[in-house]
C-alpha cells in the first residue's frame, strides 16, 4: 500500500485513494484528473442540472443533502479531505452533493471516470470498499440520530468534525489538547445534520460552553478545550 502515483496536479503527500491502485491505473487516472477550486454552495452532483462529476476532496467539506418535498433539507452525509464524492451508475441521484465550504478537489469528468472504473478492476474495488465504509457509517449515524438526546447528538457531531481536524493536525504534529478550528457548518446546517432545530443546537452549544468543554470564537470559530469530556457527552459514537 505504498504510494504508487504522484498525481501531477496534486500536492497531497500521501494520496490515500491512489495508494491502493496499481501503477498503471494510477497513471490513467492522472491523465484525466484536474485540480479545481470550488466555492461554497456549488453543487458537485445532483440537483437540477444533473451534472455528473467525481471528485476527491483535497481541502474543505462537502455535504450530502436530501431535499424533502416540503422544502426542508436533511444532511445525510459529510465528506472530508481525502474522501471520494460521486455516485456511479445512476443518472438521477436521489440527493445533492454541495460544497459546505470552499473546496479544493481533484475532479474527474463523469464519463471518463466511469469508463476507467469499468476497465480497471482495482479502481472499481477501491470505490466499492469506500462505498461499503460509507454505508457502515450511514447506519451508525442513523442509530445516533434515532436514539440520542440533543446534547449527545451535538457532541457526537463535534467529535466527528474535531477528529478530522485532529487527524490533519497530527500530520503537522500539532498539539492534540485544545484543538481549535473553524466549523465547516452553520448552526442551521448542524441542525439539518442532527434532526434538530437550530435553536436547540444553539442551546446545546451554550450548555457545552457553560461547562467549559468548548469555547466559541467569532464567526464559526470553535475550540475544544476538553476532548475527553466531549467524547463522554457523545456517548460512544463510532467515529470513522
Partner DNA sequence: TGTTTCGTTTGATTTCCATCAATTCGCGTC
Partner DNA sequence: GACGCGAATTGATGGAAATCAAACGAAACA
User: Can you give the three-state secondary structure of 48-82, one letter per residue?
Assistant: CCCCCEEEEEEECCEEEEEECCCCCEEEEEEECCC
What track of x and - describes contact with a copy of itself for positions 102 through 131 (by CB under 8 A)? ----------------x--x--xx-xxx-x
- Within 132-171, the residues that bind DNA by CB under 7 A are 149-151
Contact 86, 113 (CB under 8 A): yes
Q: Rule CB under 7 A: which of 202-231 touch DNA?
A: 202-203, 205-206, 216, 218-220
Contact flag: residue 186 with DNA (CB under 7 A): yes
Closest CA to 55 of 24, 26, 33: 33
Q: How far is the CB of 181 from DNA (least distance, A)?
A: 14
Regarding 139 and contact with a copy of itself (CB under 8 A), the answer is: yes
Give the angle subtended at the CA of 200 by the CAs of 149 and 192, to the nearest 5°. 85
Number of H helices, E strands in the chain: 8, 11
Total length of the chain = 240
36 near DNA (CB under 7 A): no
- Among 188, 223, 236, 238, indicate the residue that binds DNA (CB under 7 A): 188
Does 235 help bind DNA (rule: CB under 7 A)? no
Decide: is 72 part of the binding site for a copy of itself (CB under 8 A).
yes
Among 1, 2, 13, 146, binds a copy of itself (CB under 8 A): 146
Should residue 142 be labelled a site residue for a copy of itself when binding is judged by CB under 8 A? Answer: yes
Residue with the three cell numbers 475532479:
107
Q: Which of the residues 188 through 227 are near a copy of itself (CB under 8 A)? A: 194-195
Name residue, grid cell 476538553.
226
Report the 10 Å Cβ neighbour count for 216. Answer: 14
Sheet holding 84-85, edge to edge: 34-38, 103-109, 53-59, 84-85
Residues forming contacts to a copy of itself in the complex (CB under 8 A) are 64, 66, 68-70, 72, 74, 76-77, 87-90, 93-95, 118, 121, 124-125, 127-129, 131-132, 134-136, 138-143, 145-147, 194-195, 235-236, 238
Amino acid at each position: 500500500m505504498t504510494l504508487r502515483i504522484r498525481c501531477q496536479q496534486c500536492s497531497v503527500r500521501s494520496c490515500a485513494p491512489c495508494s491502493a491502485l496499481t501503477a498503471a491505473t494510477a497513471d490513467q487516472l492522472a491523465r484525466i484528473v484536474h485540480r479545481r477550486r470550488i466555492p461554497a454552495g456549488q453543487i458537485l452532483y445532483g440537483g437540477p442540472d444533473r451534472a455528473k462529476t467525481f471528485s476527491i476532496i483535497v481541502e474543505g467539506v462537502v455535504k450530502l443533502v436530501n431535499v424533502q418535498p416540503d422544502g426542508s433539507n436533511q444532511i445525510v452525509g459529510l465528506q472530508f479531505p481525502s474522501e471520494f464524492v460521486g455516485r456511479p451508475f445512476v443518472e438521477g441521484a436521489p440527493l445533492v452533493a454541495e460544497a459546505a465550504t470552499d473546496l479544493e478537489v481533484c475532479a474527474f469528468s463523469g464519463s471518463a471516470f466511469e469508463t476507467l472504473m469499468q476497465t480497471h478492476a482495482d479502481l472499481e474495488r477501491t470505490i466499492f470498499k469506500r462505498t461499503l465504509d460509507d454505508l457502515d457509517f450511514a447506519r451508525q449515524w442513523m442509530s445516533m440520530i434515532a436514539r440520542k438526546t440533543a446534547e449527545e447528538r451535538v457532541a457526537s457531531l463535534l467529535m466527528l468534525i474535531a477528529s478530522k481536524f485532529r487527524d490533519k493536525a497530527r500530520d503537522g504534529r500539532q498539539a492534540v489538547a485544545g484543538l481549535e478550528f473553524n466549523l465547516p457548518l452553520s448552526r442551521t446546517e448542524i441542525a439539518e445534520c442532527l434532526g434538530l432545530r437550530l435553536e436547540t443546537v444553539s442551546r446545546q452549544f451554550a450548555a457545552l460552553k457553560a461547562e467549559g468543554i468548548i469555547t466559541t470564537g467569532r464567526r464559526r470559530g470553535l475550540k475544544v478545550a476538553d476532548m475527553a469530556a466531549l467524547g463522554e457527552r457523545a456517548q460512544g459514537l463510532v467515529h470513522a
